[in-house]
Every structure is written in structure tokens, then in C-alpha cells.
């Protein structure tokens, strides 16, 4: 059996979360999980079209990083696996669901669909269908914060940008070119590579010169760290350090989160390439169960409190589905609207 790459257990004593923080992290991960489970159901019922890529299993990365930032104020750039990043960034579940249904009330007005979540209001720079496409865009957002602060003298322009992408994307030229410029210009950006071991059916170890992606930061003189992406407290801790570094003007960080997607690449993927043993190994490391167990063990929450969060989120998602179903389709007469910025 292949030895799975994991990290020593994170020392939770160093995390020191309060009850409120723990519940907030739990709620955000449950929101991501339940939302995606509902997407699968709706997709198979024919309510969504095109490719839909789910994030189940990777929730600790989105929650751990984005909730260590100032959601809505800092910038987030995603990939085609973007629904949960959008939710953590504060885009309402109603708007994300409606976008998936292709409705006018969606966050991209029904024009984007699953892979193109966008919200100017929440500084969500977008989902991107092309692998690695969001990486240079995120660097542009980080550059404008720095430029506004240092050149235009705006003291409020201290936003940090989080840029999420996969292990496969880290083999793309845009990764290397952008890391080079970001380090050179000391941009306030966090590159978060979600190493889930697979790029569709290509195993990471077969596709890259050095599977330890965080080490690639060193050639750019950038800080690179690896973290257990199934442990939200560990992710939060490295993210907090990276955010502080970026905000202080000390430049970017590359965080490699070791994680796993619990479903196939997309909902159209029969998921036959990954071994049962591998899947079972990672299923047993479910980040939501891990945080729940920790909270109960530390007397930060009772089972009942966690259950009531589950119920609240389930109701929120049922409401999002109703909202999406009852929302209007975009008007065909507006087919060419929103293509250019002045149409806003």
C-alpha cells in the first residue's frame, strides 16, 4: 500500500480558539459541506447544467484561510471548484445556489454558472474555468492594494489577497511566473495550493518534479509552508501568520495544504481511478468530524449545540434552493449585457 503523505499532529494547544471562534469555523465548514451535498442532489435531478465540481473534504482549507482574513474586505480568487470559497467569503448561499441554477438572482446574474462565481461586493475575484487562470489575476488585485497604499498614499489599502488553486495548477507556467513577480514586488498575497493528490485522473506524484509543492517557494525567496489541510485549526494558524506577513508589507507566502476531495473530479466523473484504500484513509480524516470532536473534548461545545448549527444550516440551504427555484431566468433580451464594464 502507498504511504500517504501526512504531517505530524498539529499541536492544538497553540491554536487557542475561543468558543465563538470554534463555532464559527464549524458553522462555515458545515455550510460548505451541506451546500455541496445539496448541489449533488440538484445536479442529478437535472436542475444544474454543465460541469459542477464539488469541494467535499477540502472545507478546512477554505474556512481556515478565509476566516483568518477579513472576509468581504480582503480579496479571494478561486478556481472552478469555487462554491465553498464563495460561501466562506460571505456570498449568501441563496446567490451561490441561484447562480448554479443559472438564475438572474445568482451572484454572477446567472451568466457564469458553477465555475464562474463572482461578487464585487464580497471581493470575490471569481471562479475560473481554466486551470491556473486566477493566479495572475490575484496578483493584480494584490498589486493594486500595494500601489494604492504605497504610491497613492491610501492608508486603508491594506487588503490581502488569498489565491486558491490545485496541485495540477502548480505545474502550470502561470504559477511560476506569478510567484516570481509576487516575491519580487513583495505583494500582499497568500498562494494556497490545495494538494488533493489528483488533477482529474492524473496522480500528483506522476506529474511533478518534486511533489512537495511548498518547497518551490524557496527558489523565489518566498516563505513556503506545508500544513495538514484536514485540520482547520492548523490551516487557520498558518494562514494567520501569512496574513500578518502580507499585511505588514513583508511579502507573499506559499501554503501547501494536504487535503483530499471526497467525491469525483466533477459530478460527471465516475471516480474509478482512485483506490478504495486511499479514499478510506482520507475519509477517516474528515475535517468537520475532527473539529467537532475537538470542540466537545475541550468543552467548547456540546453535541446539542453542534446539532443545532447543523439544523440551522440545513434550513438555510433548503431556503437557498427555494429561492433559486423561484427566481427568474435571465431575460434573453439582455443576452449581451454585462459583457463590458460600462454595462454594470
Task: Retrieve residue 279's grid coordinates.
Answer: 479514499
Would you say 62 or 327 has its CB closer to ligand TPP?
Answer: 62
Binding flag, residue 167, ligand TPP (CB under 6 A): yes
CB 98 within 8 Å of CB 324: yes
Would you say 98 or 193 has its CB closer to ligand TPP?
Answer: 193
Binding flag, residue 196, Mg ion (CB under 5 A): yes
* Chain residues 64-83 in contact with ligand TPP, contact rule CB under 6 A: 81
For 89, 224, 295, the CA distances from 162, given in Å and listed in that order, are 11, 14, 27
Size of the site for Mg ion (CB under 5 A): 4
- Tell me the C-alpha distance between 149 and 112, whole Å: 32
Only one of the segments 92-100, 198-206, 241-249, 331-339 lies at the binding site for ligand TPP (rule: CB under 6 A); that segment is 198-206
Binding flag, residue 199, ligand TPP (CB under 6 A): yes
Coil vs helix vs strand at 240: helix
Binding flag, residue 231, Mg ion (CB under 5 A): no
Would you say 165 or 220 has its CB closer to ligand TPP?
Answer: 165
DSSP per-residue letters across 261-312? -SS-SSTT----SS-HHHHHHHHTT-HHHHHHHHHHHTTS--HHHHHHHHHH
Q: What is the CB-side half-sphere exposure of residue 144 using CA atoms within 13 A?
A: 8
Binding flag, residue 196, ligand TPP (CB under 6 A): yes
- Tell me the C-alpha distance between 237 and 246, whole Å: 14
Closest contact distance (angstroms) between CB of 167 and Mg ion is 4
Size of the site for ligand TPP (CB under 6 A): 14
Would you say 81 or 103 has its CB closer to ligand TPP?
Answer: 81
Would you say 105 or 208 has its CB closer to ligand TPP?
Answer: 208
Would you say 167 or 231 has its CB closer to Mg ion?
Answer: 167
Binding flag, residue 198, ligand TPP (CB under 6 A): yes
Binding flag, residue 126, ligand TPP (CB under 6 A): no
* Beta partners for residue 312, in sequence order: none
- Tell me the C-alpha distance between 271 and 282, whole Å: 15
- Tell me the C-alpha distance between 124 and 330, whole Å: 22
Binding flag, residue 260, ligand TPP (CB under 6 A): no
Binding residues for ligand TPP (CB under 6 A): 81, 129-131, 165-169, 196, 198-200, 265
Amino acid at each position: 500500500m502507498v504511504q500517504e503523505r501526512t504531517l505530524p499532529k498539529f499541536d492544538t494547544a497553540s491554536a487557542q480558539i475561543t468558543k465563538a471562534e470554534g463555532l464559527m469555523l464549524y458553522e462555515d465548514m458545515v455550510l460548505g459541506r451541506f451546500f455541496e451535498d445539496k448541489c449533488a442532489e440538484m445536479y442529478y435531478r437535472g436542475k444544474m447544467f454543465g460541469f459542477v465540481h464539488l469541494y467535499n473534504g477540502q472545507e478546512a482549507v477554505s474556512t481556515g484561510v478565509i476566516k483568518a482574513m477579513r472576509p468581504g474586505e480582503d480579496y479571494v480568487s478561486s478556481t472552478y471548484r469555487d462554491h465553498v470559497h464563495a460561501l466562506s467569503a460571505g456570498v449568501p448561499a441563496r446567490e451561490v445556489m441561484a447562480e448554479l441554477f443559472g438564475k438572474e438572482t445568482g451572484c454572477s446574474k446567472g451568466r457564469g454558472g458553477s465555475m464562474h462565481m463572482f461578487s464585487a461586493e464580497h471581493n470575490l475575484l471569481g471562479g475560473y474555468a481554466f486551470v491556473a487562470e486566477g493566479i495572475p489575476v490575484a496578483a493584480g488585485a494584490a498589486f493594486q492594494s500595494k500601489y494604492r497604499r504605497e504610491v497613492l498614499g491610501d492608508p486603508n489599502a491594506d487588503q490581502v489577497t488569498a489565491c486558491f488553486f490545485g496541485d495540477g495548477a502548480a505545474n502550470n507556467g502561470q504559477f511560476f511566473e506569478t510567484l516570481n513577480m509576487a516575491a519580487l514586488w513583495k505583494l500582499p498575497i497568500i498562494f494556497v495550493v490545495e494538494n488533493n493528490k489528483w488533477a482529474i485522473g492524473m496522480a500528483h506524484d506522476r506529474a511533478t518534479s518534486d511533489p512537495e509543492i511548498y518547497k518551490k517557494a524557496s527558489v523565489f525567496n518566498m516563505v513556503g509552508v506545508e500544513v495538514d489541510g484536514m485540520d482547520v485549526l492548523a490551516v487557520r494558524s498558518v494562514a494567520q501568520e501569512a496574513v500578518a506577513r502580507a499585511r505588514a508589507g513583508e511579502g507573499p507566502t506559499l501554503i501547501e495544504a494536504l487535503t483530499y476531495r471526497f467525491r469525483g473530479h466533477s459530478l460527471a466523473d465516475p471516480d474509478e481511478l482512485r483506490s478504495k484504500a486511499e479514499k478510506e484513509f482520507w475519509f477517516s480524516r474528515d475535517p468537520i468530524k475532527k473539529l467537532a470532536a475537538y470542540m466537545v473534548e475541550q468543552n467548547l461545545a456540546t453535541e446539542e449545540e453542534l446539532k443545532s448549527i447543523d439544523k440551522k444550516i440545513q434550513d438555510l440551504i433548503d431556503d437557498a434552493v427555494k429561492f433559486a427555484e423561484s427566481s427568474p431566468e435571465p431575460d434573453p433580451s439582455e443576452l449581451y449585457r454585462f459583457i463590458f464594464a460600462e454595462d454594470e
